[in-house]
Amino acid sequence: MWRPHRFRFLVGAALLLLAPLLPASAQERVDVALVLAVDVSRSMSPEELQIQRQGYAAAIASPEVVRAINLGEHRRIALMMFEWANESHAREIVPWSVIETQADAQAFADKVLEDTTYGQRRTSISGAIRYASKLLDEAPYVATRRVIDISGDGPNNQGSPVTLARDAAVDRGYVINGLPLMTKGGIGFQFNIPDLDVYYRRCVIGGPTSFVIPVIEWAQFPDAVRRKLILEIGGRMPYQPPRVMKAQITFEEPYDCLVGEKIWRRLREQYFWDP
């Protein structure tokens, strides 16, 4: 006679026997699997790219971030970083790493500083979100939450509409947070929009507890990244710090999430230029 409970017992026993044969990382539980997606489009100068890299390293290795990790249920997170620009450019800077201690965080930060970045053409936020989603799909950890942390200094201007990539990631259960870089200058000023923070809130971020922290001046960057990491590690926002914008249902006028694509087409027609 077929006995479902006996079958379930046998399957469970088999999994227990096979568990020691699995890679250790595949069984490791973390409070959050966090992907740092860093914009390296040509709209940023080499100096700005270096400031960005140093800011991420300083934030990751900060005692405040390590303290936030130690407050979690498992007291560890999984972290990785990649750079992105056009739809076909996504390059790993630091692979998946488990961060538990100050030494772990410093080792990750050192790898960030050891790497070298060269600016790339175009800006495909949608491509970055899809790549980050793939990384989270394949992450070898049991994570309570899975988060994409994406920075950028301009709107999407290549690839599929950013809202399609955002919605697909949110449907997978991922959270997307934004760090719009609203600094002045840079060679790609033609692609700047004055309300990039609103664009990120309306078009890029999504999922429970998602938020935006704009960076107005480069001097603010390390502190903005540090605050953002602490919030993401904690998975909640007990209060609203200055310049933090939460995702929310809104009755505002519809926002044009294709503004970047339209700017690029207009400039291309005007200058026959493919930046």
Contact 127, 135 (CB under 8 A): no
Kindly state whether residue 1 falls inside one of the protein's structural domains: no
Separation between Cα atoms, residue 208 and residue 167, nearest integer Å: 13
pLDDT tens column, 40-66:
987 777 888 889 999 999 999 999 999
The pLDDT value recorded for residue 164 is 97
Instruction: Name the pLDDT band for 247 (thresholds 50, 70, 90).
Output: low
For residue 146, the SS3 value is strand
Burial (Cβ within 10 Å: 0-12, 13-18, ≥19) of residue 267: middle
pLDDT at 244 over 70: no
The pLDDT value recorded for residue 79 is 98
For residue 72, the SS3 value is coil
Q: First vs last Cα of the chain: how many Å apart?
A: 69
The stretch 222-230 carries a mean pLDDT of 95
Contact 233, 31 (CB under 8 A): yes
Kindly state whether residue 175 falls inside one of the protein's structural domains: yes
CATH code, 40: 3.40.50.410
Counted domains in the chain: 1
The residue with greater pLDDT, 11 or 62, is 62
pLDDT at 267 over 80: no
Under 8 Å CB-to-CB from 6, ≥6 apart: which residues?
none
Kindly state whether residue 18 falls inside one of the protein's structural domains: no
The stretch 253-266 carries a mean pLDDT of 85
Residue numbers of the domain that contains 195: 25-271
pLDDT at 274 over 60: no
Kindly state whether residue 14 falls inside one of the protein's structural domains: no
pLDDT tens column, 122-179:
899 999 999 999 999 999 999 999 999 999 989 998 999 999 999 999 999 999 999 9
HSE, side-chain direction, 13 A CA sphere, residue 34: 25
Runs of H (alpha helix) within the chain: 4-18, 24-27, 46-60, 63-70, 102-114, 125-138, 162-171, 196-199, 221-234, 259-271
Kindly state whether residue 2 falls inside one of the protein's structural domains: no
Question: In terms of pTM, does the model score above 0.85?
Answer: no
Kindly state whether residue 211 falls inside one of the protein's structural domains: yes
Kindly state whether residue 235 falls inside one of the protein's structural domains: yes
Mean pLDDT of the chain: 84
The pLDDT value recorded for residue 271 is 62
The pLDDT value recorded for residue 241 is 47
pLDDT tens column, 174-219:
999 999 999 876 565 566 789 999 999 999 999 998 999 999 999 9
Burial track 188-205 (b if 16+ CB lie within 10 A, e otherwise): bebbbbeebbbbbbbbbb
Kindly state whether residue 11 falls inside one of the protein's structural domains: no
pLDDT at 236 over 70: no
The stretch 113-118 carries a mean pLDDT of 85
What interhelical angle do 125-138 and 162-171 show, nearest 10?
20
Contact 188, 254 (CB under 8 A): no
Instruction: Say what percent of the chain tops pLDDT 90.
Output: 61
